[in-house]
Chain A
Amino acid sequence: MARAKTTRSTARPAGPLRILTAVPICDGHDSAVTTINIELARHGIEVIYLGYHQPASAIVRAAIQEDVNVVGLSSYNGGHIVFFKEVVDQLKKGGGGDIPVFGGGGGTITQADARLMQRQGTDRIYFAGTSLDSMMAEIKRHYGRAAKPNARFKGDRALARAITLAESGLSFPLLPAPRSRNGAPHRSYVVGVAGPGGAGKSTLIDELTSRFLQGNPAGRIAILANDPSHPDTGGAILGDRVSAIYSQDDRVFFRSLATRGSLTGLSAAAPAAIDILKASGEFDLILVESVGVGQESDPFRIFGRGPKLVDATLFVLAPYYGGLIQLQKIALLNGADLVALNKCDHPMAHTARAEIQARLDQNGRGQTLHPTTAAKHFDPGVDALYAAILGLSAKSK
């Protein structure tokens, strides 16, 4: 079945604990969970935060794709007995029955409720007034198991586990691609997305995802979202899923990667993760978001074996990059296959557009600038950018 492959040995015994946290559907009480998130990260845990008002199906999908150690739910608006059970049951059905579910909800979850919930598969409930420190100590004690290869995992869970193993510096299986429709090996087109912090990379990726889902009635897309780990604690709050509204779809494989000390803008496991996703033959398009970068060199170049880790790079910037001098210094503008000026609703966008286009013309590579407003729904600029990606992908085939 799965063929094992050894990666370079950045041997770490096991990665940090990964916890998915979320608030149930029709519930916006996020004050407790945001505090818990901060505390977890402070204790060296990687928190994948999904957000409030989340249906059980989205929680289960995220738990499986992120291959977390445990799911933590914070529920206040009632209905917790039904909701926790739904998550536990759907996890079992979806191949995540080994992922425990725990949580809290202040005084709204009574001790009698908690006993019933535990009989129905919930692992534990933290009641109102539990001190944060004691909670953290217990969480680390109970859920800090290292991930091991598991041959019984299938589908997204198997991919997710392979990525987890790669993140821990362990050898991971490359799942062979199932035969594609016409017998040819299935090819994924990989686009690396870089740009300054806050330029709108994640928003743009999600909008591109919506175009992909609309345009392909059956295909799948994968997203690798790299975000920084806290330099001191080693923990991280990986919150990209919160805003990724279109990625809440079974046709999207979304994985958050903490950089874990890597200073290149990508997790050290990103190349392996790309390999794993490509080898699976599941995905037509793979989008890799680097952490915010400025004037340094291309995160997708320094790594890979061979010249490039990805098939194309998309550089995203916002109108407030400083001035012409700053613009000159952005090395990524030289090599990027695609350049998007996002936040075109910003008053400075007009000037920025002219300046950047001039900067690209200097390169003499015929690069075109794509003006986008990712925050606007159905933005024609995003449509055009998506078409350009499809164009590049078609050319490469």
Chain B
Amino acid sequence: MNSLGKIADSVDAYNRHVAAEVARARTDPAFATALRERWAKIRASIETTHSPTGTALPRLALPQTDEPGAIAEYLLGQGLPGEFPYANAAYREMYLDKVSGTGEEPMRLFAGLGLAEDTNARFHYLGQHQKSLRLSTAFDGPTLYGLDSDHEGVLGKVGEGGVAIDTVEDMTRLFAGFDLTRKDASVSMTMNAPAPMILAMFIAAAKRRFGPGCVPNLRGTIQADMLKEVQAQNEVIFPIDASLRFLCDMIEWCVPNMPRWYPVSISGYHIAEAGATPVQQAAFTLANGFTYAGLLRARGADVNEFGPRLSFFLDCGLDVEYLVLGRVCRRIWAIGMREVFAANPKAQILKLHTQTSGRSLIAAEFQNNLTRTAVELMLSYMNYTNSCHSNSADEPFTTPTEQYATLASHGQSIIMEESGVFKHMMNMFGGAPGLLILERQVEQAILAVFREMNTLGGVLAAQEQRYQRSKIQEAGHNYEKQIYAGTRPIIGLNKYVNDEPMPSVPLARTSPRKQRLQVERLRAFKQKHAKKAPAALQRLENVARHGGNVFAELVNTVEVCSLGQITACLSGVVGKFRPMV
């Protein structure tokens, strides 16, 4: 499964290839001519557009050069937007059409609070300003850990920090009133260890509303990245091998049955928020991605089929490396997938969702958080992320309340629609000297981490030795130490402090009455299905025990069983995860 050493070597080899081609462009007249001709053709194909004040602009900005070496450097080293190695962008036009009205906007806002109907109301509220249907779901603690709302000791956590989902009936309430089969609908779910159960409930709920034929039309993403759970987010229920097996079962089922679904979102966000540096975030995340590719390939799956179904999720904070992190990741992924996994172009493209950093947002003088998020949004879009979530200014205190969620969403609109930065011209920044320097440094640092993990035996072996966790914890500790030593300026906390009293902001909390209501609903569901549930669980157990595709069975199990019942059943077969410090 471990191909990290080979991947690092392949990136270096590609860089040497680029250098050789640049040299050849400068010495081989025939090659130089060919490059110039191609360059001229590309330029001729670029349409002209006009800014609102009348300035004429090309829709694609290219380096202003005719020198063959520079042309080769750009075309091979970075690639045109939408071309290998994809440093500039995954697609040719990215935001140009989207913001001018024809495509889908990249904004995606994460929401989840209280019971299903409360989150449903928030979805309807957020959706008023969006052209396309974008639902991004946050779940509460018990759901994230695969427990029912009536599990001992969890009542206070029900509906806090996300929505409580115990059964297919809750799932039905969650998406009431939305046409999930619309072509421009997209549902994303931040769900990991119980992802197979929750996606199965989603499918079951959709079938109830739109008929059994709707499944291939469902579009969206489920996070389901168990490696970063072990390394950073700490939501693991089953032993690692079983967790990976359930995940691969789900991916394999989705590839043919849900062609519009992304069954895994390989996430660096949680790694960075837990404390990792930008380089560690990128290195661990890409390495996890290559590990999934290796696991799926070892199960006999075709890289060109599953490759395009993998998507990525990165954090964007204020450190300088974030100017280029998305660019560098796209490039390493493309080279590794092409050279080591023999993937075709569609399977080489790293599709990126970005979230601005939650950890950079602080409680003291919290309205400054609006500015921090705005800067991070700029950096995210400069990296041509495919979609983006902006955090709300009340992030340190609570699940966003409507007021700050709206400001967060409008922040994106101001950058993308009001400002002209991303509207008219593609590739505004690629090739700038600072970016080039940073890209090289960051890329080499990432490869060094790959090589270190390679000597430990790869991602899974390194993980067993707590390599990623100890690096992340050390970096997180450093970050806090820098804050309190004053070497990392945080305005309002250690610099330009106004000594204002801690603000009191409105909080989104779930009342005990609602928490009890959720428990009552769950009990009613269990009672209703008390006769059928044991047989359904028995069938699931058999499939799990005998190596069948667990996901294929879950789609049936969720009709009559709750999340907690299913978790307990699977735990009985595969055991429990043993956590690490």
Contact = CB atoms under 8 A, between A and B. Distances in A.
A377 B574 contact: yes
A62 to B, nearest CB: 14
Contacts of A83: 156-157
A245 B147 contact: no
Interface residues of B, number: 50
Query: Main SS of the interface on chain A?
Result: mixed
B435 interface: no
Given A26-B144, A27-B141, A78-B509, A53 B234 contact: yes
A25 B234 contact: no
Interface in A121-162: 127-129, 131-133
A239 interface: yes
B576 A245 contact: yes
A86 B157 CA distance: 13
B581 interface: yes
B91 interface: no
Contacts of B574: 377
A71 to B, nearest CB: 16
Given A78-B157, A78-B509, A245-B576, A110 B504 contact: yes
A107 B493 CA distance: 13
Interface in B142-159: 142, 144-145, 147, 152-158
Interface string A185-218: 0000000000000100001001000000000000
A362 B162 CA distance: 62
Contact of A132 (B157, B481, B576): B481
Interface bin, chain A:
35 or more
A347 to B, nearest CB: 10
Given A34-B477, A108-B397, A128 B363 contact: yes
A253 interface: no
Contact of A30 (B156, B234, B480, B510): B234
Nearest to B160: A78
Interface in B191-236: 233-235
A28 B363 contact: no
B156 A31 contact: no
A77 B362 contact: no
Nearest to A238: B581
Contacts of A264: none
Contacts of B397: 107-108, 110
Contact of A35 (B155, B396, B476, B578): B476
Given A52-B579, A131-B484, A28 B234 contact: yes
Contacts of B575: 377-378
Contacts of B580: 242-243
A381 interface: no
A246 B363 CA distance: 39
Interface in A93-130: 106-108, 110-112, 127-129
Among A108, A128, A377, the one with the most B-chain Cβ atoms within 10 Å of its Cβ is A377
A51 B579 contact: yes
B444 interface: no
B396 A106 contact: yes
Interface in A58-90: 76-83, 86
B141 to A, nearest CB: 3
Contacts of A132: 480-481, 484
B161 interface: yes
B507 interface: yes
Among B233, B477, B575, B581, the one with the most A-chain Cβ atoms within 10 Å of its Cβ is B581
Contacts of B476: 31, 34-35
A110 B141 CA distance: 20
Interface string A370-390: 000001011000000000000
Nearest to A377: B575
B364 A34 contact: no
Among A25, A51, A81, A127, the one with the most B-chain Cβ atoms within 10 Å of its Cβ is A25
Contacts of B156: 78-83, 86
Contacts of B158: 79
Contacts of B398: 108
Nearest to A132: B484
Interface in B522-581: 574-576, 578-581
A333 B465 CA distance: 25
B473 A34 contact: yes
A237 interface: yes
Contacts of A30: 234, 274
A281 interface: no
A236 interface: no
A263 interface: no
B58 interface: no
Nearest to B575: A377
Given A31-B476, A127-B502, A107 B396 contact: yes
Given A131-B484, A242-B580, A243-B579, A110 B157 contact: no
A127 B503 CA distance: 12
A243 B364 contact: no
B579 A242 contact: yes
A52 B234 contact: yes
A126 to B, nearest CB: 12
A271 interface: no
A38 interface: yes
Nearest to B492: A129
A5 B579 CA distance: 39
A110 B154 CA distance: 21
A315 interface: no
Interface in B450-493: 464-465, 473, 476-477, 480-481, 484, 493
A237 B473 CA distance: 14
Given A78-B161, A110-B504, A245-B576, A31 B273 contact: yes
B157 A77 contact: yes
Contact of A77 (B141, B364, B481, B576): B141
B275 interface: yes
Given A27-B141, A86-B153, A242-B580, A127 B473 contact: no
Nearest to A83: B156
Contacts of B504: 110-112
A234 interface: no
A297 interface: no
B239 interface: yes
A129 B359 CA distance: 12
Nearest to A113: B507
Those 8 A-B pairs whose CB atoms lie nearest each other, nearest first: A26-B141, A78-B160, A377-B575, A28-B234, A82-B156, A79-B156, A107-B396, A107-B363
Interface of A: 24-31, 34-35, 38-39, 49, 51-53, 55-57, 76-83, 86, 106-108, 110-112, 127-129, 131-133, 198, 203, 206, 237, 239, 242-243, 245, 375, 377-378
23 contacts: A25-B153, A26-B142, A29-B234, A31-B476, A38-B473, A38-B477, A39-B477, A57-B153, A77-B140, A79-B155, A83-B156, A106-B396, A108-B398, A110-B397, A132-B480, A132-B481, A206-B578, A239-B581, A243-B580, A245-B578, A245-B579, A375-B578, A377-B575
